[in-house]
Chains A and B, each alone.
Chain A
Amino acid sequence: MKPAPFTYFAPTSIEETIGLLQRYGDEAKILAGGQSLVPLLNMRLARPTALIDINRIPRLDEIVTEDDAIVVGARVTERQLERHPVVAERLPLLVALVKLIGHPQIRNRGTVCGSIAHGDPSAELPAGALALDATVTVTGPTGERTIAVDDFYLGYLATALAGDEMMTQVRFPIPAAGTGWSVQEVARRHGDFALVGAVALVRVEGGRIAATNVVSFGTGGRPLRFPEVEAKLVGSVPGEALFSEAAEAITELLDPDDDVHASAAYRRQVAGVLVRRALEEALRRCEGGSR
């Protein structure tokens, strides 16, 4: 279990990184935290010619807290995000998501952008980013572009990131005041990737749902949003029956895969259970407090 040969580069600027990406094309891999990539290198399942370590590029390790968003640079570790006091206060969902990822030792290296760029369909951060309507900023030879996470994920481990682009930041909008949130997942062990999971945001005004975002993960090639179900929820009086109905509707839309840990049938039905539980908890959170 030793990596195949590659050449290691440690560029000190985004421009230099893009230049390397242009030079090596598909033969290049960007190394940020390495918590997903290095196992693949060790197993020789990934065999890049060029490994481009972005950890020497200045300023990418910053978390910027804006009035309406948390902006996370490409080198920011999951641990950094988890322990950021402003994030904990203003976007506790992010902290809850990150705490489900591996263990502190993994989160000390694993990066937020890396997880989002990798886009594992069972991972928490891509699902959370989708629920929060996050946008990613990528930089390529012709400059920067911003992509909504929903447009970023194309399919299983496939993203809109071009071969000569790198992700430089992700922007998580802070939901409107009073929005309740929840993340629910079933994992075989604490810290494992989810077999199946759900994220929900709910805001209630005048006794009716004013806004809601619902995401299911581990149930397809990418995390999934359900605009039609969300649209039906908005304007309704929240309650057990309504949420069960929404969960059932979502179950109908899912076509997950089998693997050694769970069957498609399990994922499908439990996805609905978790969506319902997420909506319920999110509702409790928005009723119960300021968030």
Chain B
Amino acid sequence: MTAPASQIGLVGQSVKRVEDPILLTGRAKHIDDLHFPDMLHTAILRSPYPHATIVSIDASAALALPGVVAVLTGEELVNHAGPSRDYGAEWYALAVGKVRYVGEPVVAVAATSRYVAEDALDLIDVEYDPLPAVANARQAIEADAPRLYPTLDTNIVYKKTFSYGDPGRALEGADLVVTGKFRIPRLSANPMETAGVISQFDPATGGATSWSNVQAPAVALGTLVATLGIPMDRARAMVQPHGGSFGSKIALGKFIVITTVLSKLCGGRPVKYIEDRIEHLMASGSHAWEREYDVGFGFDRAGHCLGWRMVVLSDVGATGGPTQTLKALTCLVGPYRVRDVEYDITTAVSNKGGDGPYRGYGPPTHFLVIERMMDKAAAALGLDPAEIRRRNFIQPEQFPYMQPNGVEYDSGNYPEVLRVALERAGYEELRKEQERLRSEGRLAGIGVAFGVEPGGFRGQTGPYREWPAGGSLAPEAATIHLQENGDLVVDVYFAMEGQGHFTFATQVVAAYFGVPMERVRVVSAEPRLTTPSTGPMGSRQSVTLTFALRGACDLLREKLLALGAHMLDLPAEDLGIRDGRVVPASAEGKSLSLGDLAAVMHGKPADMPVGLDLDPSVTCSWTAPPPEDREGSPYLTYANGCHVVLLEVDRETGQVAILKYVIADDCGTRLNPRVVEGITQGGLAQGIGFALLEEYVYSEDGQPLSVSFMDYLLPTIYEVPLAEKAAVVTPSPATPYGQKGAGEGAIHVTPAAVFCAVNDALAPLGVELTQAPASPRRIWEAIQASPSSG
């Protein structure tokens, strides 16, 4: 598994990113930067009701508006496209018969400009018959709640208790049982670029092409083929570099469907749709993590956690499923040596926009709960929060560590990560500083939180197989073309998205062949059904793409050595590749450059040995070996991190000021340390948003109220602490360089750390904050409940 030292070279160095020059100069072509001749623009009329029957739609005035070319309703759409299906329910890209959330697409217009298309929306007359709405999961699970789907006799789409060991006995036998209830609101990724698609149907062939900023190109291809019935050989899904995704752009299917059908109705003209920010905030389909927790944790006197019970109620909106709640099963016990645990999930649909992926895919709330409960136990037992964690950690010698549910952690050294974090934070001094502030009557709080990060997503294995949509493996592909001059062009099958994938891919390939980075060029290639590949998700590319790249490198190497052996008249096994040359193992005598070999492969068949495949292009579509049993982990690596924060709460206004923030984390070997640090800081920022600012607020009857950037608040530079960061490196045994997925680590821990710190600050008042975000209002309300307040 481990890469030979000779192939490491550039890997692990903080080289400048190869993605940047085109981005810095404004020359990258994002989806909305593409302008095709005759292109039409789409605007979408969306439901103003959370739940209503569509009585009639009159779009004649819109169709008569100069510049409008086509109007598409759900009734027409079903003639061209199939539904999405999940949990026995189905829905279409445009509402058919009824609407189930505010912002649900109802009518789409294609016109010569977006301006005219939006004018046309004003002219469409839709008559609705409002139905009683289900505003949240609590309402949804009531026996007499209105039903969202006629095919279901309940709004509960998933319910199961996962129990391991004997949690009942663990809690009964505990010296201390701490309980807690938590509410997490909806939040979402909100990348700076919204979703966008251009589709073109070819009336001559029945084929279709979509250009989009989809995160997972396979999803786009799948939509064309499975939902729109485009023949496999005539479906093309191109991906443009995109302005961030964090999960939100995985599922753009409905926009691909709408624009493709519109293109078909418009005689094959290309049709563009760009989601605007209000549409994104209202109904992106990527809202996430609205949950209630009701938990009990048992401890012995020494602070050892004996077991816990977690009951989770998830509101997944009209079209979400339980997988983001199921993901906690892959990191069920967090960093702790706990064997008797229960995780009880109820997932309900409601009349709000659908739940969808957001960076982390669920566990950030899981760790918020676990870490807060650790603090509560520590307080009850008179232990320092750092100490109670230390006493419960899985120990370094226990790895690979099998969790009670059969999901394995590859590696780690949690005590060391904690130690480094505390040392960097000057923890003892920090506690003294807190005491000093408290003695002045100020509310200072410290949070120490730990989390693990499932990374290197290998597919819908293990716990995900609980869900019918799961069950597939997720390959990743790379192709290497040896150019005639010896340069290497590397095709990957996804778009630039921000994580520096193209940079580390360049580092890996250049290091493998010992060539300078300038001689390797990574490009985003057209995804093809014949080259199965998945794209970024689940902190996977530093692991999965690396396997694919090295697989392709191995294939090319084999060819180069075979050809080299022929040309040098030496046995292939006596040859190696060094500094961009095929050289004898003895390092003496003649050697050949990649260019020498490429020249032969490209055009001198007479010099080729007979019977060898010397095609200068090689492809590896890598799939992780499936877990040996059903309960294996869908993740190959488990990075982990510890955050320490000092903050102050203004007792009169409820405002939070972060005074110090330290992160120590261990994601194994860092392919490009500077890139990893940037991603960590970015995850921290999103975690700060979760902890302090972000929340989709709904009225009691299901109207979304956070539909602009004035109300859904992303953190700015003022709100995000510039964290001090320290790296601990415990190489993963599962990957070539010892690297681990690192894309989601910080957001797993930041909300927990800040939440713990706010509660630590409030502790002298005897009150507790149990809802995120820790907004001034919420904190103030908690303070008002204090027996010692006014």
Whether A associates with B in a native complex is: yes
A1, A44, A266: the one within 8 Å of B776 (CB): A266
In the assembly, what is the distance between CA of A44 and CA of B655, in Å? Answer: 34
Chain A residue with Cβ nearest B712: A260
Cβ–Cβ contact A262 & B777, under 8 A: yes
Shortest distance between the CB of B696 and any CB in chain A (Å): 9
In the assembly, what is the distance between CA of A27 and CA of B118, in Å? Answer: 20
**Which of A157-165, A183-191, A209-217 is near enough to bind chain B?**
A183-191
Shortest distance between the CB of A234 and any CB in chain B (Å): 26
Q: Which of A177-235 contact B (CB under 8 A)?
A: 186, 188-193, 195
B119, B276, B653, B697: the one within 8 Å of A186 (CB): B653
Cβ–Cβ contact B122 & A4, under 8 A: yes
Cβ–Cβ contact A188 & B775, under 8 A: yes
Cβ–Cβ contact A186 & B118, under 8 A: no
Cβ–Cβ contact B705 & A186, under 8 A: no
Cβ–Cβ contact B653 & A273, under 8 A: yes
Cβ–Cβ contact B716 & A191, under 8 A: yes
The answer, yes or no, to whether B296 is at the interface (CB within 8 Å) is no
In the assembly, what is the distance between CA of A64 and CA of B697, in Å? Answer: 45
B115, B719, B777: the one within 8 Å of A189 (CB): B719
Chain A residue with Cβ nearest B114: A2
Cβ–Cβ contact B780 & A270, under 8 A: yes
In the assembly, what is the distance between CA of A266 and CA of B654, in Å? Answer: 10
Task: Report chain A residues within 8 Å CB of B131.
Answer: none
Cβ–Cβ contact B780 & A266, under 8 A: yes
In the assembly, what is the distance between CA of A210 and CA of B622, in Å? Answer: 81
Task: Report chain B residues within 8 Å CB of A260.
Answer: 695, 697, 705-706, 711
The answer, yes or no, to whether B781 is at the interface (CB within 8 Å) is yes
Complex interface bits, B386-404 against A, C-beta within 8 A gives 1, otherwise 0: 0000000000000000000
Interface residues on B, range: 20 to 34
The answer, yes or no, to whether A5 is at the interface (CB within 8 Å) is yes
The answer, yes or no, to whether B710 is at the interface (CB within 8 Å) is yes
Complex interface bits, B172-195 against A, C-beta within 8 A gives 1, otherwise 0: 000000000000000000000000
The answer, yes or no, to whether A261 is at the interface (CB within 8 Å) is yes
Complex interface bits, A12-30 against B, C-beta within 8 A gives 1, otherwise 0: 0000000000000000000
The answer, yes or no, to whether B145 is at the interface (CB within 8 Å) is no
Chain B residue with Cβ nearest A188: B713
In the assembly, what is the distance between CA of A5 and CA of B66, in Å? Answer: 14
With an 8 Å Cβ cutoff, the count of chain A residues facing the other chain is: 25
In the assembly, what is the distance between CA of A192 and CA of B777, in Å? Answer: 16
Complex interface bits, A250-277 against B, C-beta within 8 A gives 1, otherwise 0: 0000000000111100100110011000
Shortest distance between the CB of A110 and any CB in chain B (Å): 15
Task: Report chain A residues within 8 Å CB of B693.
Answer: 188-189
In the assembly, what is the distance between CA of A116 and CA of B654, in Å? Answer: 29
Shortest distance between the CB of B343 and any CB in chain A (Å): 32
Cβ–Cβ contact B719 & A1, under 8 A: no
The answer, yes or no, to whether A43 is at the interface (CB within 8 Å) is yes
A3, A39, A191, A270: the one within 8 Å of B652 (CB): A270
Chain B residue with Cβ nearest A4: B119
In the assembly, what is the distance between CA of A192 and CA of B714, in Å? Answer: 11
Chain A residue with Cβ nearest B41: A2
Q: Which of B685-733 contact A (CB under 8 A)?
A: 693, 695, 697, 705-706, 708, 710-711, 713, 715-716, 718-719
Q: Which of B638-674 contact A (CB under 8 A)?
A: 652-655
Task: Report chain A residues within 8 Å CB of B713.
Answer: 188-189, 192
Q: Known interface pairs A195-B776, A260-B705, A266-B776. Does A1 touch B781 (Cβ–Cβ under 8 Å)?
A: no
The answer, yes or no, to whether B339 is at the interface (CB within 8 Å) is no
Shortest distance between the CB of B187 and any CB in chain A (Å): 14
Cβ–Cβ contact A270 & B697, under 8 A: no
Task: Report chain A residues within 8 Å CB of B419.
Answer: none
Cβ–Cβ contact A190 & B775, under 8 A: no
Cβ–Cβ contact B776 & A2, under 8 A: no
Cβ–Cβ contact A2 & B653, under 8 A: no
A5, A186, A189, A274: the one within 8 Å of B716 (CB): A189
Q: Known interface pairs A2-B114, A188-B776, A263-B777. Does A43 touch B278 (Cβ–Cβ under 8 Å)?
A: yes
Chain A residue with Cβ nearest B115: A2
In the assembly, what is the distance between CA of A270 and CA of B652, in Å? Answer: 7
Complex interface bits, B404-419 against A, C-beta within 8 A gives 1, otherwise 0: 0000000000000000
In the assembly, what is the distance between CA of A273 and CA of B784, in Å? Answer: 14
Cβ–Cβ contact B653 & A270, under 8 A: yes
Task: Report chain A residues within 8 Å CB of B519.
Answer: none
Chain B residue with Cβ nearest A270: B653
In the assembly, what is the distance between CA of A3 and CA of B114, in Å? Answer: 10
Interface of B is mostly: loop
Task: Report chain B residues within 8 Å CB of A193.
Answer: 710
Cβ–Cβ contact B776 & A186, under 8 A: yes
The answer, yes or no, to whether B424 is at the interface (CB within 8 Å) is no
In the assembly, what is the distance between CA of A44 and CA of B652, in Å? Answer: 39
In the assembly, what is the distance between CA of A270 and CA of B706, in Å? Answer: 23
A186, A189, A192, A266: the one within 8 Å of B781 (CB): A266
Q: Known interface pairs A1-B276, A5-B119, A44-B118. Does A262 touch B716 (Cβ–Cβ under 8 Å)?
A: no
Q: Known interface pairs A190-B718, A190-B719, A260-B711. Does A1 touch B119 (Cβ–Cβ under 8 Å)?
A: no
Task: Report chain A residues within 8 Å CB of B653.
Answer: 186, 270, 273-274
Cβ–Cβ contact B776 & A273, under 8 A: no
B276, B716, B777: the one within 8 Å of A190 (CB): B716
In the assembly, what is the distance between CA of A239 and CA of B135, in Å? Answer: 50
Q: Which of B109-128 contact A (CB under 8 A)?
A: 114-115, 118-119, 122
In the assembly, what is the distance between CA of A190 and CA of B720, in Å? Answer: 11
In the assembly, what is the distance between CA of A209 and CA of B46, in Å? Answer: 58
Shortest distance between the CB of A280 and any CB in chain B (Å): 12
Task: Report chain A residues within 8 Å CB of B654.
Answer: 266, 270
Task: Report chain B residues within 8 Å CB of A189.
Answer: 693, 713, 715-716, 718-719
In the assembly, what is the distance between CA of A191 and CA of B706, in Å? Answer: 18
Cβ–Cβ contact B118 & A2, under 8 A: yes
Task: Report chain B residues within 8 Å CB of A39.
Answer: 708
Shortest distance between the CB of B767 and any CB in chain A (Å): 16
Shortest distance between the CB of A246 and any CB in chain B (Å): 16
Task: Report chain A residues within 8 Å CB of B438.
Answer: none
Task: Report chain A residues within 8 Å CB of B711.
Answer: 260-261
The answer, yes or no, to whether B277 is at the interface (CB within 8 Å) is yes
In the assembly, what is the distance between CA of A191 and CA of B695, in Å? Answer: 19
In the assembly, what is the distance between CA of A9 and CA of B370, in Å? Answer: 61
Shortest distance between the CB of A228 and any CB in chain B (Å): 24
Chain A residue with Cβ nearest B651: A273
Task: Report chain A residues within 8 Å CB of B277.
Answer: 1
A186, A192, A263, A274 interface centre (most CB from chain B within 10 Å): A186
In the assembly, what is the distance between CA of A189 and CA of B118, in Å? Answer: 32
In the assembly, what is the distance between CA of A266 and CA of B697, in Å? Answer: 17
Task: Report chain B residues within 8 Å CB of A43.
Answer: 278, 708
Q: Which of B92-147 contact A (CB under 8 A)?
A: 114-115, 118-119, 122
Task: Report chain A residues within 8 Å CB of B780.
Answer: 266, 269-270
Chain A residue with Cβ nearest B718: A190
In the assembly, what is the distance between CA of A263 and CA of B780, in Å? Answer: 10
Chain A residue with Cβ nearest B43: A2
Shortest distance between the CB of A267 and any CB in chain B (Å): 9
In the assembly, what is the distance between CA of A5 and CA of B123, in Å? Answer: 14
In the assembly, what is the distance between CA of A5 and CA of B116, in Å? Answer: 9
In the assembly, what is the distance between CA of A189 and CA of B697, in Å? Answer: 17
Cβ–Cβ contact B776 & A262, under 8 A: yes
Chain B residue with Cβ nearest A44: B118
Shortest distance between the CB of B110 and any CB in chain A (Å): 15
Q: Which of A124-151 contact B (CB under 8 A)?
A: none
Residues of chain B touching chain A, judged by Cβ–Cβ distance below 8 Å, are 114-115, 118-119, 122, 276-278, 652-655, 693, 695, 697, 705-706, 708, 710-711, 713, 715-716, 718-719, 775-777, 780-781
11 contacts between A and B (CB under 8 A): A4-B118, A188-B693, A188-B775, A189-B716, A190-B719, A191-B718, A192-B713, A260-B695, A260-B706, A262-B777, A270-B780
Q: A270-B654, A273-B652 are in contact. List 8 more A-B contacts (CB 8 A).
A: A2-B118, A4-B119, A4-B122, A44-B122, A190-B716, A260-B705, A266-B781, A270-B653
Q: Which 6 pairs, one residue from A and one from B, show the smallest C-beta to C-beta distance?
A: A190-B718, A1-B276, A260-B697, A273-B652, A2-B115, A266-B777
